[in-house]
């Protein structure tokens, strides 16, 4: 089972919202009907786990205040590890991107991976890599905690959408890819490898400068719903090391990925 993509998370959330309103036996029958209709095994596994969880007393949504410092304004992304929100930093009055772990994945093991993502981002310093501003642990009213961090809010187009714009020349594409390589090389020099570099993780700003996002791809095998997943991310963009189960990934492997996708 592959790590769920954004569309799968949205599908799970939509189905869970509906099935929560049904009696347990009717909800189980509906899950069986979805399975017979060919619903994704990943969606069904996560849906079953989701329905087994008690609803949070105060759901995180637009207007929620995180750690007393950030007000959520709009969800702008959802990935395998967590969601990304546009949030207002109350003390400064600026908008930031706030990433928090998905509520289904909150466990000591996965929290440790999320904190590792924060630490990795904190070591990076390059104009082509999104900057981290802050990090913390949000305490919910029921006593549970959700780790989060905030980054600069990057406005732009994913690399694949930018590349097909009618005014983007081949020369512009090559210059931009050179800038992406420089950013990735800077991370390699700090012993950080992206593991899931793909067009959606590179945003091109209005000034045609690329920003590399989300160095947080991680193995989630300790989460029960993910134990069957051998590697995170999309197989078409993953490094061979990840697919083969190797824990050490070098800059040379990332260079292989660039050549393969080029």
Q: How far apart are the first and last CA of the chain?
A: 27
Q: Are residues 120 and 42 in the same domain?
A: no
More confident residue, 25 or 3: 25
Predicted confidence (pLDDT) per residue in 194-228, tens digit = 767 888 889 999 999 999 987 654 333 233 333 33
Q: 131, 152 in Cβ contact below 8 A?
A: yes
Residue 108 lies in a domain: yes
Please say which residue of 151, 173, 188 terminates a domain. Answer: 151
Q: 225, 49 in Cβ contact below 8 A?
A: yes
Q: 195, 117 in Cβ contact below 8 A?
A: no
Q: Work out the number of other CB atoms within 10 angstroms of the CB of residue 213.
A: 22
Q: Are residues 220 and 179 in the same domain?
A: yes
3-state SS assignment for residue 221: coil
Q: Are residues 131 and 173 in the same domain?
A: no
Q: Which of 196, 207, 208, 214 is catalytic?
A: 196
Is residue 17 annotated as part of the catalytic site, yes or no? no
pLDDT of residue 249 exceeding 50: no
Task: Give pLDDT, residue 8.
Answer: 75
Q: Where are the alpha helices (DSSP H) in 37-169?
A: 41-51, 108-122, 159-163
Q: Are residues 163 and 146 in the same domain?
A: no
Predicted confidence (pLDDT) per residue in 75-116, tens digit = 988 765 678 899 999 999 999 999 887 666 666 666 666 666
Q: Are residues 93 and 142 in the same domain?
A: yes
Residue 59 lies in a domain: no
What's CA 26's distance to the chain center, in Å? 33
Residue 58 lies in a domain: no
Task: Give pLDDT, residue 234.
Answer: 44
Q: Work out the number of other CB atoms within 10 angstroms of the CB of residue 154.
A: 15
Angle at 71 between CA 159 and CA 18, to 5 degrees: 75
Q: Are residues 164 and 253 in the same domain?
A: yes
Please say which residue of 120, 151, 182 terminates a domain. Answer: 151
What's CA 239's distance to the chain center, in Å? 17
- CATH number, residue 137: 3.30.200.20
Predicted confidence (pLDDT) per residue in 125-168, tens digit = 899 998 888 888 888 777 777 888 898 899 999 999 999 999 99
Place 42 in a pLDDT band, splitting at 50, 70 and 90: confident
- CATH number, residue 215: 1.10.510.10
Residue 56 lies in a domain: no
What domain count does the chain have? 3
Task: Give pLDDT, residue 63.
Answer: 92
pLDDT of residue 177 exceeding 60: yes
Q: Are residues 69 and 143 in the same domain?
A: yes
Domain that holds residue 169: 157-261
| Mean model confidence pLDDT for the chain | 75
The secondary element (H helix, E strand) that includes residue 182 is helix 170-189
């Amino acid at each position: 089972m592959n790590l769920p993509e954004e569309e799968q998370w949205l599908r799970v959330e939509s189905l869970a919202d509906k099935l929560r309103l049904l009696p347990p036996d009717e909800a189980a029958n509906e899950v069986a009907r979805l399975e017979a209709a060919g619903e994704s095994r990943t969606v069904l596994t996560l849906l079953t786990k989701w329905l087994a969880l008690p609803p949070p007393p105060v759901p995180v949504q637009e207007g929620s205040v995180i750690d007393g410092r950030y007000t959520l304004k709009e969800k702008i992304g959802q990935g395998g590890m967590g969601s990304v929100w546009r949030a207002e930093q109350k003390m400064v009055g600026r908008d930031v991107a706030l990433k928090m772990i998905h509520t289904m994945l909150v466990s000591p093991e996965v929290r440790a991976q999320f904190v590792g993502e924060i630490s990795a981002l904190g070591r990076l310093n390059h104009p082509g890599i999104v900057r981290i501003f802050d990090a913390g642990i949000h305490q919910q009213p029921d006593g549970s905690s959700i780790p989060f961090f905030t980054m600069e809010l990057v406005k732009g187009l994913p690399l694949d959408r930018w590349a097909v714009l009618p005014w983007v020349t081949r020369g512009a594409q090559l210059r931009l890819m050179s800038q992406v390589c420089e950013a990735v090389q800077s991370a390699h020099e700090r012993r950080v490898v992206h593991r899931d570099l793909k067009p959606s993780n590179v945003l091109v700003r209005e000034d045609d400068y690329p920003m590399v996002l989300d160095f947080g791809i991680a193995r989630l095998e300790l989460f029960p719903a993910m134990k069957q997943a051998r590697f995170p991310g999309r197989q078409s963009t993953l490094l061979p090391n990840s697919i083969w189960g190797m824990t050490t990934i070098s800059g040379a492997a990332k260079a292989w990925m660039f050549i393969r996708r080029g």
